[in-house]
Structure 1
Amino acid sequence: MMLGSILNPINSSIIAVALVPIAVAFGAPASETAWLVAALYLATSIGQPLFGRLVDIFGPRPLYLIGAVLTGIAGLLGTFAPGLWMLIVARVVLGFGTCAAYPASMYLIRSEEKRTGVSSPAGVLTALSVTTQTIAVVGPTLGGLLIGIGGWRAVFAINIPLSVACLILGLLVLPRRARAARTDTDARFDVVGVILFSGMMISVLVLLMDFRIDRLWLVAVAVVAAGAFAIRELRARDPFIDVRVLGGNVPLVVTYLRSVLGATVTYAFLYGFTQWLEGGRGLSASQAGLVLMPAFATGIVVAVVTGRRPQIRGKLLVGASTMVVACVLMLFVHETSAVWFLVVIAVIVGVPQGLINLAIQNTLYHQADPERMGASSGLLRTFMYLGAMLASSASGAFFGAQATDGGLHELAAFMLIAAVLLVLITVLDRSLIKVDRAAGEGQRAKVSSDR
């Protein structure tokens, strides 16, 4: 579960330090290499709930294995790509291939709850949180090291051995029996719903990727697709996303909004700050990756130390407040800033990395319909990548052709707004008290079971 779930966050961030070498290799402008980022986001935003729904219908094992195979194919395509267009295709395949493991893992955890009666597997959720979000911060560091060893193609090639390992472990370990209680004839796959959802997400994300006035017609396309999608899902016997249940579950909707805001700050830092370290501060790809390494280490430590504690609301408040502090410090960064000051910012950013994703994941675990855990978990990742796309769009808008100090400060102000909103909706969300109570009861039940 952990090995499979690591592939999506790593690939979402590892490309950050490879964009410049790829642009040089193919003589491509930044506007074209930006599609390497957007391609994975587009595929993932659609693929996460899609694979999640398929997991709900067919069980986790077959979807996990299909995802591992697609990831390996993407690694081969990228490693031997003759041009930029093939790299973009590889990133699309990679986006879909890395979508399966996380919803499959959440489904397996939920099915274990039914088997054992333990309602809050804090240790497993903590480990999964580390591999699904906290480890994303190590992407630029790993990318820098891989580029230093084998060039930018190594960023794609690393997926080949990882996919083989996932395939072997999946065949040997994943249970064949863990699947929904319904029969195949009871569950109908909503193809029309998937198409309408895809049209809505593609319109939104293409607009965010390169926001211009002459592209505002995409807003109309997204609105029409969203309306048609809602009507379709309300009428479908077995909808792709049950909007009726989602609309009646306001706390879950707030959790998705919280994911968007948290991801916006996180990915603005990963992409924007990394780009500034190379373009504004003048560091190499490897050096920039090393500066960000403390964020990864801090996130891991914080997640492990706090993971078994059931206080979800407290984690969200501390994590969001720490984000505010990091954004404020970024306002004072300039091209002559000492490296130690940049490392301090990275350490502070690591704190919410270890707290917020874990808390959001645990919140969803208690709020989502157990029968749709795969789809709900996949949709959570869709909202996360919507935030990532907002961050990417903001970075492009504020930096333009050059990552300057002024652009970094504007990006930091944008991040600060998102972080403050995250604090506010957490303070005002009274439903988290109920989630804390449920998590605490599950923790006590586990202790009693262990005894």
Structure 2
Amino acid sequence: MSARSRWLMLAVGLGVSLNPLNSSMIAVAIARLQHVFKLEYTVVSWLIFSFYIASAVTQPVMGKMSDLFGRRKIFLAGLVISFISSVLAPFSPHFGWLVVSRVVQSIGTSMMIAVGMAIVRVHITEKQATALSVLSIFLSGAAAIGPFAGGILLRWWDWPAIFVVNLPFTAASFLIAWRMIPKDEAAAPQAGRASIRSWLTKIDALGILFFTVSLIALLVGLLSVSSSGNITLWSGIAMGIGLVALGTFIRHEVNTASPFIPLRTFKQYPAMFSVNVQFMLVNFLFYTLFFGLPSYLQIVRHVSEFQTGILMLTLGVSSLIASPIAGKWVDRAGPRPAMAVSAILMMLGSAWLAALKETSPVIHVCFALTAFGIANGLNAVGMQAALFKSSPKDMIGVASGLFNTSRYLGTILSSLLTGIIMGGTFSFAGFQLLSAMLTFIALALVILGVRFRVSEQLEGEV
């Protein structure tokens, strides 16, 4: 790989790592922010909801918009937006400002995720597989080290530091990217003359609107019920709007020519649908632990942010160790064995947490973290391989978009479940209930995987 290619890899790697880094650092800051702004847990959860809703919408949209503006411009614009959000967030006068800053940050970092892989594919021609694997290390490494980095920043400074830390990375990535990413080719004449209406149709602006409204309204309604303990007029209206928007979204996506989420694909390829359902459940399980355990450690067990970060590092390290081993295993035996073992590990980890007592040594959570970390490493490879196996070659782009959407839906649902169970305060009883529910969901994932494998075998015999 040439020196120019290595510098380009560094620019893109720094940029794409900002999304997983910022989505994971917040895990150890939730308890601190809840105390600073004097809010209920369900309200603080919007720092997680807002980030993943914005990511779910932005990444596929920016992939399409890069055809109009160019990948280089999208990448550089994402860095500028991320820089601005990181400057404004520490000065948040109230919680609403901070949530808006997180949304802006998610949009900026998602813009780089959306085009970063394509930039590497187009502009690095030698040892391309190595380049893509290095990019994956940036992504997984940032997510793994996020809680640990957040714990250190909270110990030595305060919550604004988890935003300020982005500034040198965004600045360095921008300067290198400006010099090393080649300029975009001129847009085709017909693309330049395309009307705003045609581009809104291409990105399915109506579908995005219905999708976003349905998610936000349903989240608001369900969390309001959880917080108040009963269905109020306001929560009923919110859930009603959410259900109507969801139904309208499904109908629109089935009938539109360029859908935001091509639901018809699931009907055509049931195996792809099954993989996406399993991937959503996997992320639901993983991120429930990922965001719930730091709050349990800090609020219930009174562990410091720094010590929480150290403990959470177990999750990231075990995941990074398991990933290359999983790659060799999947190459030899296929994705299903690795996925089955990962589901069993998550079930055992959840059951272990459910069995913990209030006086159990804190270090005991490392068993569950290790189990989930290994499971995450197995899934990182196994799920991707299962997706490729179940998807037609000419639809791999669409399949990848649906795959990422399933990831974000799982993450959003995990935060929703935690918010509903905990209500205003994160408690030990709530954590036990949450862990017990995760155990049964992981069991359902094991059964789903077994049934899907049986159906594959039957199809092969036919």
Question: What is the TM-score when the length of structure 1 is the normalising length?
Answer: 0.83
Aligned partner letter, 2:300: G
Moved more, 321-330 or 27-36: 27-36
| Whole-Å separation in 2 of the counterparts to 1:315 and 1:55 | 35
| Whole-Å separation in 1 of the counterparts to 2:132 and 2:456 | 19
| Whole-Å separation in 2 of the counterparts to 1:231 and 1:34 | 30
| Whole-Å separation in 2 of the counterparts to 1:298 and 1:384 | 20
Moved more, 139-148 or 377-386: 377-386
Question: CA shift at 1:218, angstroms?
Answer: 4.2
* Matching residue within 274, 290, 296 for 1:270: 290
- The 8 Å contact of residues 133 and 353 in structure 1, kept in 2 or not, is answered as no
After TM superposition, list the pairs within 5 Å mapping 1:65-80 onto structure 2.
Answer: 65-80=76-91
Question: CA shift at 1:211, angstroms?
Answer: 4.7
| Whole-Å separation in 1 of the counterparts to 2:405 and 2:106 | 12
Moved more, 285-294 or 77-86: 77-86
| Partner in structure 1 of residue 152 of structure 2 | 145
| Partner in structure 1 of residue 59 of structure 2 | 48
Question: CA shift at 1:145, angstroms?
Answer: 0.4
| Partner in structure 2 of residue 193 of structure 1 | 207
> Are residues 21 and 180 of structure 1, via their aligned partners in 2, closer, same or farther at CA, if it must alter by over 3 Å?
same
Aligned partner letter, 2:151: G
Question: CA shift at 1:8, angstroms?
Answer: 2.0
Q: Are positions 1:6 and 2:26 aligned together?
A: no
- The 8 Å contact of residues 18 and 142 in structure 2, kept in 1 or not, is answered as no
Question: CA shift at 1:433, angstroms?
Answer: 7.0
Question: Which 5+ residue runs of structure 1 have no aligned equivalent?
Answer: 438-451
Q: Are positions 1:319 and 2:342 aligned together?
A: yes
> Are residues 253 and 67 of structure 1, via their aligned partners in 2, closer, same or farther at CA, if it must alter by over 3 Å?
farther
After TM superposition, list the pairs within 5 Å mapping 1:186-225 onto structure 2.
Answer: 188-212=202-226, 213-214=231-232, 215-225=235-245
Question: CA shift at 1:93, angstroms?
Answer: 0.5
> Are residues 203 and 264 of structure 1, via their aligned partners in 2, closer, same or farther at CA, if it must alter by over 3 Å?
same
- The 8 Å contact of residues 264 and 390 in structure 1, kept in 2 or not, is answered as yes
| Whole-Å separation in 2 of the counterparts to 1:252 and 1:181 | 34
| Whole-Å separation in 1 of the counterparts to 2:49 and 2:223 | 7
| Partner in structure 2 of residue 447 of structure 1 | none
| Whole-Å separation in 2 of the counterparts to 1:305 and 1:43 | 33
> Are residues 430 and 276 of structure 1, via their aligned partners in 2, closer, same or farther at CA, if it must alter by over 3 Å?
same
Is the partner of 2:45 in helix, strand or coil?
Answer: helix
RMSD: 3.5
Moved more, 338-347 or 69-78: 338-347
| Whole-Å separation in 2 of the counterparts to 1:317 and 1:395 | 25
Q: Percent same amino acid at aligned positions?
A: 27
| Partner in structure 2 of residue 331 of structure 1 | 354
- The 8 Å contact of residues 102 and 377 in structure 1, kept in 2 or not, is answered as no
| Partner in structure 2 of residue 342 of structure 1 | 365
Is the partner of 1:283 in helix, strand or coil?
Answer: coil
Question: CA shift at 1:327, angstroms?
Answer: 0.9
- The 8 Å contact of residues 318 and 374 in structure 2, kept in 1 or not, is answered as yes
> Are residues 277 and 175 of structure 1, via their aligned partners in 2, closer, same or farther at CA, if it must alter by over 3 Å?
same
Question: What is the TM-score when the length of structure 2 is the normalising length?
Answer: 0.81
Aligned partner letter, 1:337: S
| Partner in structure 1 of residue 430 of structure 2 | 407
- The 8 Å contact of residues 299 and 351 in structure 1, kept in 2 or not, is answered as yes
- The 8 Å contact of residues 222 and 239 in structure 2, kept in 1 or not, is answered as no
Question: Which 5+ residue runs of structure 2 have no aligned equivalent?
Answer: 1-11
| Whole-Å separation in 2 of the counterparts to 1:68 and 1:431 | 46
- The 8 Å contact of residues 52 and 376 in structure 1, kept in 2 or not, is answered as no
Aligned partner letter, 2:213: G
Q: Are positions 1:243 and 2:250 aligned together?
A: no
Question: CA shift at 1:158, angstroms?
Answer: 1.6
Deviations 1:86-125 (A, max 9, x none): 2111111012112123332444577699x8999xx4x556
Q: Are positions 1:287 and 2:287 aligned together?
A: no
Count of paired positions: 431
| Whole-Å separation in 2 of the counterparts to 1:59 and 1:418 | 42
| Whole-Å separation in 2 of the counterparts to 1:269 and 1:178 | 44
> Are residues 112 and 427 of structure 1, via their aligned partners in 2, closer, same or farther at CA, if it must alter by over 3 Å?
farther
> Are residues 206 and 64 of structure 1, via their aligned partners in 2, closer, same or farther at CA, if it must alter by over 3 Å?
farther
Aligned partner letter, 2:155: G
| Whole-Å separation in 2 of the counterparts to 1:58 and 1:368 | 29
Q: Are positions 1:87 and 2:94 aligned together?
A: no
Deviations 1:314-351 (A, max 9, x none): 22122111111111111221232224322222222210
Question: CA shift at 1:157, angstroms?
Answer: 0.9
| Whole-Å separation in 2 of the counterparts to 1:112 and 1:92 | 30
| Partner in structure 2 of residue 443 of structure 1 | none
- The 8 Å contact of residues 264 and 418 in structure 1, kept in 2 or not, is answered as no
| Partner in structure 2 of residue 384 of structure 1 | 407
| Partner in structure 2 of residue 442 of structure 1 | none
| Partner in structure 2 of residue 157 of structure 1 | 164
| Whole-Å separation in 1 of the counterparts to 2:180 and 2:171 | 14
Q: Are positions 1:167 and 2:167 aligned together?
A: no
| Partner in structure 2 of residue 102 of structure 1 | 113
| Whole-Å separation in 2 of the counterparts to 1:4 and 1:384 | 20
| Partner in structure 1 of residue 7 of structure 2 | none
Moved more, 198-207 or 330-339: 198-207
> Are residues 236 and 346 of structure 1, via their aligned partners in 2, closer, same or farther at CA, if it must alter by over 3 Å?
closer
| Partner in structure 2 of residue 307 of structure 1 | 327
